[in-house]
Structure 1
Amino acid sequence: MLPYKEVGWAPVKRLSNRIPGLPEKVEALHWHEQMFTVPEQAEMLFSTDLVKNQGFVFENVLGLQFHFEPEADNVREMVANDCEYANDPKNTLHQTGADILAHGVPSKNQEIMFLLLDYLLDQTN
């Protein structure tokens, strides 16, 4: 458990070239106050300035601390059902539910999600 929350839109940095086509930096939705430990054989894939362990890849396993998958309706539902989580003073991104909604879902996120899923599919064949 982290001593703070990371809730809102913030960039994640790619640390590995393991998955072709991923941009060096991309905006993702964060909605957590946890951090995982990267498995020994895994390769760090993403990081942020606030939380080092944001993503890893290991064979056909992908672990992500943030979200590329939500569409606009999903984000609206998250904010509608859990806005107090974002409004908590421990949120280091200092984004309210209104800020999160106003940001909008980056159009590139769906493309990135498909790249990740295609990579996983290729690993199972």
Structure 2
Amino acid sequence: MKPVAVFRHAPTEGPGYFASFLSARSIPMTLVAIDAGSPVPTDVSAFSGLVFMGGPMSVNDDLPWIAPVLALIRQAVARDVPVLGHCLGGQLMAKALGGSVGRNPVKEIGWGEVEVLDNPEARLWFGDAPRRFESFHWHGETFTIPEGATRILESPHCANQAYVLGPHLGMQCHVEMSREMVETWCAVGAEEIATAGGPAVQSPEEILADLDGRVARLNAVAERLYSRWIAGLAR
């Protein structure tokens, strides 16, 4: 089987639980470390799927790798190679597919409830899972839903939390979190938390409370979404 290409845009924002999910199913993975200077592939045919992780930058920044990534996403969608995006990754997908990315009304940092919408696409991806679950968030921008895609998740502070387009899934929230990632983000993002404020920003103490339980519950949600996504991988 061709490997899944996982694009990392910041050293602390790796694949987390997604890597464990692939490993448990013997699905090969290739890490494209954009943060370490890895070039963006120009041909999607070497991969069974593309996965884009988060990052502190904006898709609207003038960075040399953004245009090639957008082109690669469009190529993958045109060839029905599944694409999966987490936070920045979901924004990259949205922009590549004709949507836009701009400031969210408030910053979301920490744990927050999201709601699964009542539509056929949402039911296809979530099955009989609870209509609400607690996800992890760390963003100040958000995407519009690309033409032809279907919105499947929302939260009180961000209407567009996830969308699907055939085998492709773009998310604003972070379902890939591990305990280590949450702890690291709290440490490196302490100053941002202290200065952000707002109704959707939690303190490090609030974020770290019941961490093992929260991560385990989020992993269960992620497993359902990832299981649906890998069903479309090119064999």
Verify same fold: TM over 0.5.
Answer: yes
Following TM superposition, the consecutive aligned residue runs of length 4 or more in structure 1 with deviations greater than 4 angstroms are: none
Residue 21 of structure 1: how far off its partner (Å): 3.6
2-side partners of 1:54 and 1:109: how far apart?
15
| Map of 1:18 onto structure 2 | 124
Q: Give the structure with the larger helix fraction.
A: 2
1-side partners of 2:153 and 2:197: how far apart?
23
Q: Kindly indicate whether the alpha-carbon contact (under 8 Å) linking 1:7 and 1:30 is maintained by their aligned counterparts in 2.
A: yes
Unaligned runs of 5+ residues in structure 1 are: none
Q: Greater CA deviation, 58-67 or 104-113?
A: 104-113
| Map of 1:72 onto structure 2 | 179
3-state SS of the aligned residue for 2:109?
strand
Residue 72 of structure 1: how far off its partner (Å): 1.1
| Map of 1:97 onto structure 2 | 204
2-side partners of 1:22 and 1:59: how far apart?
20
Unaligned runs of 5+ residues in structure 2 are: 1-102
Residue 85 of structure 1: how far off its partner (Å): 1.9
CA RMSD of aligned residues (A): 1.6
Residue 10 of structure 1: how far off its partner (Å): 0.7
Q: Greater CA deviation, 46-55 or 85-94?
A: 85-94
Residue 25 of structure 1: how far off its partner (Å): 0.3
Give me the TM-score of the superposition, normalised by structure 2. Answer: 0.50
Q: Which has the higher contact order (CA 8 A, sep 6+)?
A: 1
| Map of 1:27 onto structure 2 | 134
Largest Rg, 1 or 2: 2
Q: Greater CA deviation, 15-24 or 72-81?
A: 15-24
Q: Where does 1:37-52 land on structure 2 (aligned, <5 Å)?
A: 37-52=144-159
Matched, 1:61 2:168: yes
Q: Kindly indicate whether the alpha-carbon contact (under 8 Å) linking 1:55 and 1:63 is maintained by their aligned counterparts in 2.
A: yes
Q: Kindly indicate whether the alpha-carbon contact (under 8 Å) linking 1:87 and 1:95 is maintained by their aligned counterparts in 2.
A: no
3-state SS of the aligned residue for 1:93?
coil
Matched, 1:2 2:104: yes
**1:18 counterpart letter in structure 2:** L
Q: Kindly indicate whether the alpha-carbon contact (under 8 Å) linking 2:107 and 2:201 is maintained by their aligned counterparts in 1.
A: no
How many correspondences in the alignment?
A: 125
* CA deviation vs aligned residue, 1:60-81 (integer Å, no higher than 9, x gap): 2111111111111110000011
